[in-house]
Amino acid sequence: MPVLRQFAAAPNMLTMLRLFALPFLVIMILDGHWTVAFSLMMVAGITDAFDGLLARLLHQHTRLGQYLDPIADKLLLSTLFMTLTHAGLIPRYVTVLVFSRDLGILLISTLLFVTNTLKDFRPTLFGKANTFVQIVAVVGVMASQVWPIPGLPQVDHWLLKLIALLAPLSAAQYAWIVIRRVSTPIEPTVAP
């Protein structure tokens, strides 16, 4: 499918909607309009769930979607971390750890891809756990601004502490996997 036609695929349109909503989400957070910000974040989450479902139901898997969806997800989460840190709701050290991990993984995966060293760079157990806790923490931090739920700020606090632990652990796990795979000698194949 030509690249321009891939933009018209329903799943990709939902992903682009998520990207277009991002500046408005940031503005709403910075202006303290927490109900609107929370609503925009939830709409973004729903579009994330539906774009994959639509791709399967409509048989609209595209190369553009394979790249655009994870970029949109990471951009949304990273932007929320930065904006909520600026608003004083997430400690700076947590956001620095999150960004350091992501930057390290991005650099390593790019280097491995460019050098054709390692093509299979899947998420790890700690990586998946880290992303899940980040999502739950961001939802919790923003929900705390909308509804005064007793105990939620304490849960948010411990989720952020858990992120500060999981981010470096997940980075170390990626590094260990890469070092192990790259240093393992490739056995030559013998023709029968």
Confidence of residue 47 (pLDDT cuts 50, 70, 90): confident
Q: Is 147 inside a domain boundary?
A: yes
Cα angle 133-42-144, degrees, rounded to a multiple of 5: 65
Query: Is residue 55's pLDDT more than 80?
Result: no
190 in any annotated domain: no
Asked if 136 and 159 touch (Cβ cutoff 8 Å), the reply is yes
Same domain, 118 and 169: yes
| 64 band by pLDDT with thresholds 50, 70 and 90 | low
- On whether both 64 and 39 belong to a single domain, the answer is yes
The model's confidence at residue 141, banded by pLDDT at 50, 70 and 90, is very high
Q: What is the mean pLDDT of residues 6-34?
A: 84
Range of the domain at 52: 1-75
Taking the CB of residue 57, how many other CB atoms lie within 10 A of it?
A: 11
Report the domain count for the chain.
Answer: 2
Which strand (E) or helix (H) includes residue 103? helix 92-114
Question: Is the same domain home to 70 and 94?
Answer: no
Contact of 152 with 85, CB cutoff 8 Å? no
Helices (H), 115-189: 125-146, 152-183
Residue 192 lies in a domain: no
